[in-house]
């Protein structure tokens, strides 16, 4: 039977909220007649993590993810409940929080190592590995106040990751530094996993959660909604993102996975359409046709901005016309985060719609396809255009209107995955047991 590394039992964390700073002072002296409002950052959360597991914690902003990590690591005390930790913890929470900016890098390594309970001799042994991992050169002998932000987090990460912990706590800390340092961080992360270390991983990067975690806990507004496999919890999280669940506010123990009250029709179109919407999008056009709404649905028809790689999804747009137009063209395109246009299509290419329209007409257009892009963040642009004789006209365009996240546990090389079926077999052999070259095989066949 596996040993329990972390046991969180019915933990609550309550913060008092005041209308103004003077109310806090009045309460301290017993002069306040108005009680402070109570905010439950965590409300009766229980979870159990076994030794050697990699467990993810996901949820929207303000769900209590960082709070529960701070309680596990002892940075914050719970208001109620108990937490038991069996093993030495290294926490990648607020990198460099214990650094003295007047000290140089070496001095801060010893300072942090001592705070973690290591002797000077033990830190001496670990110092070469820390400096090699940080790779900031001679700057390690300069005061930390002279460091760039990238150099600072590299050193802080190197210290935290190289103390050989039994339990590693990670809160959105694997994406520090440049792309090469990020690759080094993930490689070290994978080493810890192979070594059987216990890892608790909080991230908004659902692809990393899917790839690395054995189990996932889902939090929302301080309560635990469910626990299960990464795929199951990510799928449930997508419902939470668009508010497609209902809970009884008087029942603090409601579990989304057991809630039969999930109502897919509960979300208004306007609310769902805002999911992933860019408030600073660029738009222009004659407005003879106007794009009124755009959104994405997954393979179950649920509105979302998180799509599982390999699954089918549908892009939707609704256009209202204010003029008579001969044959409007509806289009979408996909760009990556740095602005490279990767793919897209339109109704003229697809030969899907070649009719004229009149004022007041509304058209709903859907583009259904399989998601073959690599895991990551992408931007969707939309347009309705057409030809007036030989003149090309733009009626309405929305650039970078929606963000979509592709969730993947396997990325190949390049922009998209061809979903190759890979087979490795032994080479053909002749009667004498020698491997036959392909050219010889062709000649003798």
Among left, alpha and beta (phi > 0; psi -120 to 50; other), residue 39 is beta
Average the pLDDT over 101-114 and give the result. Answer: 89
pLDDT band at 243 (very low <50, low <70, confident <90, very high): low
Which pTM was predicted?
0.65
Q: Are residues 196 and 308 in the same domain?
A: no
**Is there a domain that residue 328 lies in?**
yes
pLDDT band at 267 (very low <50, low <70, confident <90, very high): very low
Which residues, in sequence order, are bridge partners of residue 216? 56, 228
Task: Determine the pLDDT at residue 188.
Answer: 80
Q: What percent of the chain has pLDDT over 70?
A: 84
List, as own/partner pairs, every contact residues 72-77 make where C-beta atoms lie below 8 angstroms and the sequence separation is at least 24, other chains included. Answer: 72/6, 72/8, 72/169, 72/200, 73/169, 76/13
Q: Are residues 299 and 383 in the same domain?
A: yes
Two structure tokens written together for 93: 């929470």
Q: Are residues 371 and 294 in the same domain?
A: yes
pLDDT mean across residues, the chain? 83
329: CATH: 2.70.50.60
End residue of a domain, out of 231, 255, 282:
231
Two structure tokens written together for 328: 């409007």
The predicted-structure confidence for 164-181, as pLDDT tens digits, reads as follows 788 888 886 666 666 677
**Is there a domain that residue 126 lies in?**
no
Task: Determine the pLDDT at residue 242.
Answer: 60
Residue 279 is part of which domain span? 271-407
| Model confidence at 341: pLDDT above 80 | yes
Higher pLDDT, 337 or 385: 385
Higher pLDDT, 240 or 317: 317
Q: Are residues 353 and 402 in the same domain?
A: yes
Task: Determine the pLDDT at residue 254.
Answer: 38
Phi and psi for 291 in degrees, rounded to 5? -80, 110
Task: Determine the pLDDT at residue 273.
Answer: 42
Task: Determine the pLDDT at residue 265.
Answer: 33
CA–CA gap between residue 71 and residue 88 (Å, rounded): 15
How many other C-beta atoms lie within 10 A of the C-beta of residue 14? 14
Q: Are residues 221 and 277 in the same domain?
A: no
pLDDT band at 437 (very low <50, low <70, confident <90, very high): low
Task: Determine the pLDDT at residue 27.
Answer: 77
72: CATH: 3.40.50.300
**Is there a domain that residue 138 lies in?**
no
Q: What string of DSSP letters covers 338-351?
A: T--EEEEEETTTTT
Average the pLDDT over 115-144 and give the result. Answer: 88
Task: Determine the pLDDT at residue 367.
Answer: 97
Q: Are residues 74 and 175 in the same domain?
A: yes
Max avg pLDDT among 95-109, 188-202, 216-230: 216-230
**Is there a domain that residue 81 lies in?**
yes
pLDDT band at 252 (very low <50, low <70, confident <90, very high): very low
Q: Are residues 281 and 172 in the same domain?
A: no
How many other C-beta atoms lie within 10 A of the C-beta of residue 148? 10
For the chain, how many structural domains are there in total?
Answer: 2
Phi and psi for 248 in degrees, rounded to 5? -80, 115
End residue of a domain, out of 175, 208, 231:
231
Average the pLDDT over 408-431 and give the result. Answer: 82
**Is there a domain that residue 106 lies in?**
no
Of the candidate ranges 173-182, 187-196, 355-364, the one whose mean pLDDT is the lowest: 173-182
What is the sign of the dihedral through the CA atoms of 89, 90, 91 and 97? positive
Task: Determine the pLDDT at residue 57.
Answer: 94
CA distances from 170 to 54, 65, 228, 260 (A): 11, 11, 19, 33
Q: Are residues 74 and 181 in the same domain?
A: yes
pLDDT band at 200 (very low <50, low <70, confident <90, very high): very high
End residue of a domain, out of 182, 204, 231:
231
Q: Are residues 60 and 177 in the same domain?
A: yes
**Is there a domain that residue 140 lies in?**
no
Closest Cα partner for 352 from 362, 366, 339?
A: 366
Q: Are residues 175 and 58 in the same domain?
A: yes
**Is there a domain that residue 224 lies in?**
yes
Q: Are residues 176 and 288 in the same domain?
A: no
Max avg pLDDT among 76-90, 178-192, 431-445: 76-90
Q: Are residues 173 and 63 in the same domain?
A: yes
**Is there a domain that residue 221 lies in?**
yes
The predicted-structure confidence for 315-332, as pLDDT tens digits, reads as follows 999 999 999 999 999 999
List the end-to-end C-alpha distance of the chain, in Å, as a whole number.
58
CA distances from 402 to 161, 296, 306, 361 (A): 36, 9, 11, 25
Specify the 3-state DSSP secondary structure of 122: helix
Task: Determine the pLDDT at residue 436.
Answer: 64
């Amino acid at each position: 039977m596996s040993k329990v590394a972390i046991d969180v039992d019915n933990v609550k964390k309550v913060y008092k909220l005041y209308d103004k700073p003077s109310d806090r002072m009045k309460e301290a002296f017993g002069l306040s007649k108005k009680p402070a409002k109570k905010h439950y950052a965590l409300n009766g959360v229980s979870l159990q993590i076994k030794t050697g597991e990699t467990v993810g914690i996901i949820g929207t902003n303000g769900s209590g993810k960082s709070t529960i990590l701070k309680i596990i690591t002892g940075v914050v005390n719970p208001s109620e409940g108990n937490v038991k930790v069996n093993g030495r913890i290294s926490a990648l929470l607020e990198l460099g929080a214990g650094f003295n900016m007047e000290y140089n890098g070496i001095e801060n390594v010893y300072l942090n190592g001592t705070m973690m309970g290591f002797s000077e001799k033990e830190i001496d042994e670990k110092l070469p590995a820390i400096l090699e991992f940080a790779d900031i050169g001679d700057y390690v002998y300069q005061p930390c106040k002279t460091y760039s932000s990238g150099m600072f987090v590299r050193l802080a990460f190197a210290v935290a990751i190289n103390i050989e912990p039994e339990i590693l706590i990670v809160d959105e800390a694997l994406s520090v530094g440049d792309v090469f340092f990020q690759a080094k961080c993930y490689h070290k992360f994978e080493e810890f996993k192979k070594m059987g270390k216990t890892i608790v991983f909080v991230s908004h990067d659902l692809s990393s959660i899917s790839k690395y975690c054995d189990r996932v806990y889902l939090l929302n507004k301080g309560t635990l909604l469910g626990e299960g496999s990464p795929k199951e919890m990510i799928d449930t999280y997508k419902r939470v993102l668009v508010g497609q669940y209902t809970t009884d506010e008087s029942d603090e123990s409601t579990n989304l996975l057991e809630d039969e009250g999930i109502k897919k029709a509960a979300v208004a179109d306007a609310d769902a359409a805002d999911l992933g919407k860019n408030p600073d999008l660029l738009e222009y056009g004659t407005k003879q046709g106007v794009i009124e709404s755009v959104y994405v649905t997954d393979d179950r028809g649920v509105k979302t901005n998180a799509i599982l790689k390999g699954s089918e999804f549908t892009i939707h747009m609704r256009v209202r016309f204010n003029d008579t137009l001969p044959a409007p063209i509806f289009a979408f395109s996909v760009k990556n985060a740095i602005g490279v246009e990767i793919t897209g299509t339109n109704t003229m290419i697809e030969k899907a719609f070649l009719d004229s329209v009149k004022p007041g007409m509304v058209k709903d257009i859907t583009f259904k396809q399989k998601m073959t892009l690599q895991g990551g963040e992408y931007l969707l642009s939309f347009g309705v255009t057409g030809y007036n004789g030989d003149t090309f006209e733009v009626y309405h365009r929305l650039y970078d209107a929606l963000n979509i996240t592709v969730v993947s546990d396997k990325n190949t090389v390049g922009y998209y995955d061809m979903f190759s079926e890979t087979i490795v077999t032994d080479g053909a052999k002749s009667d004498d047991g020698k491997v036959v070259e392909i050219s010889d095989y062709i000649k003798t066949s």
